[in-house]
Amino acid sequence: MEDEYDYDAMKEVGKVSYEALQHARSVVKPGVKLLDAARVIEAFIMERGFGMAFPVNLSLNSQAAHYTPAIDDTAVFTDNDVVKVDLGARKGAYLGDCAMTIDLTGGQAKLIEASEEALEEAISMVKAGRKVCEIGAAVEKVAGAKGFRPIRNLGGHGVSREDLHARIFIPNYDNGDETALEEGEVIAIEPFMTDGEGRVKDGASLQIYQKVGSPAARLASTRVIADFIDAKYSTYPFALRWLFRDIGGQTEFTVLRAIADLSAADALDRFPVLVERRGGMVAQAEKEMIVEKDGCSVITA
């Protein structure tokens, strides 16, 4: 297991990811455009010589994950918003991942505390040999004690070289999965709490993609854009606004047509915004850690 990781690199991306997350607190304010906030947070990471593991997520209220602003997004944060900030730095093949919830309403402290307490309880259980269902049970217990529900179809995951969702899924409830954590592996635990049903569905917004294949494209312009995505973003998730910003020399119509063609050919994975099925409010907390024999070492700290 240890041969799969450069732990020094993992700790570097973890540290910068955590610092960017804390910087977001000074950026996410009522009246600020989501697009401006995303640009500032991502610039914080890139100005330190790191890449992005994935586009910064700024998911509001009943949105649990995967909302990143469009290139022409005019939405602003308001004092009615609960904001999930989820981000990660990248150094070579090594990826950071962490998240927090910022309450601009002043009225959702209990929900946010539930997600944070569930995360800390889950972290306290991490060690080599621990069954993932036991971690999920701990998250679910905290949720119930606080009067909320964990989101059952979202959870934590393994993190390996070039792969943000590797090997293992860590549920937010006892799903009966007896897969055991392995010493030396890197994982991210992320409880999602809600006052809603406890499940998410795909929403309307779709701004995040990931290249997964290289089909023969009929149009030359699609081939050019596919090659650009390979060269610029490799197999890591990218935001559509990044593509518009970076590619140059292509019209919006041509880019969108290429995205549609590549999606239809199953050359792109798509990450639509995920929303609570009954419109419940959602809070999220996430940290990344290295599993050890008798515990773990949190690296997004």
Interval 275-285 mean pLDDT: 98
Alpha-carbon separation of residue 8 from 183, 254, 299 (angstroms) = 16, 42, 10
Identify the residue whose tokens are 């910064």: 56
Q: Which is the catalytic residue, given 117, 190, 195, 261?
A: 190
147 class by beta-carbon count within 10 Å (0-12 exposed, 13-18 middle, 19+ buried): exposed
Task: Please confirm, yes or no, whether 86 is among the known catalytic residues.
Answer: yes
Residues 198 and 210 in one domain: no
Residues 289 and 267 in one domain: no
User: Cα 250 to chain center, whole Å?
Assistant: 29
Residue 1: the pLDDT is 59
Interval 53-65 mean pLDDT: 98
Task: Please confirm, yes or no, whether 157 is among the known catalytic residues.
Answer: yes
Provide the mean pLDDT of the chain. Answer: 96
10 Å Cβ neighbour count for 266? 10
Token digits for 56? 């910064």
10 Å Cβ neighbour count for 190? 27
Token digits for 229? 């995505």
Residues 221 and 185 in one domain: no
Task: Please confirm, yes or no, whether 66 is among the known catalytic residues.
Answer: no
Domain count across the chain:
2
pTM equals 0.96
Distance between CA atoms of residues 276 and 284, nearest Å? 12
Alpha-carbon separation of residue 59 from 16, 94, 102, 250, 263 (angstroms) = 21, 24, 10, 29, 23
Q: Which is the catalytic residue, given 42, 157, 185, 195?
A: 157
Distance between CA atoms of residues 111 and 192, nearest Å? 10
Between 137 and 164, residue with greater pLDDT: 137
Distance between CA atoms of residues 221 and 228, nearest Å? 11
Q: Domain containing 258 — which CATH number? A: 1.10.10.10
Q: Which is the catalytic residue, given 12, 73, 81, 97?
A: 97
Interval 38-44 mean pLDDT: 98
Question: N- to C-terminal Cα distance for the chain?
Answer: 23
**How sure is the predictor about 3, in pLDDT bands with cuts at 50, 70 and 90?**
low
Between 214 and 82, residue with greater pLDDT: 82
Residues 14 and 99 in one domain: yes
The type of residue at 194 is T
Q: Which is the catalytic residue, given 86, 140, 261, 276?
A: 86
10 Å Cβ neighbour count for 265? 16
Domain range for 96 is 2-202+279-298
Contact residues for 78 (Cβ-Cβ < 8 A; gap 6+): 30, 31, 104
Interval 161-169 mean pLDDT: 90
Q: Domain containing 74 — which CATH number? A: 3.90.230.10
Task: Please confirm, yes or no, whether 97 is among the known catalytic residues.
Answer: yes
Spatial contact of 59 and 83, defined as CB atoms under 8 Å apart = yes
Residues 218 and 149 in one domain: no
Q: Which is the catalytic residue, given 117, 261, 276, 286?
A: 286
Residues 211 and 174 in one domain: no
pLDDT digits over 218-234, tens only?
A: 899 999 999 999 999 99
Interval 183-190 mean pLDDT: 97
Spatial contact of 228 and 248, defined as CB atoms under 8 Å apart = no
Residue 217: the pLDDT is 80
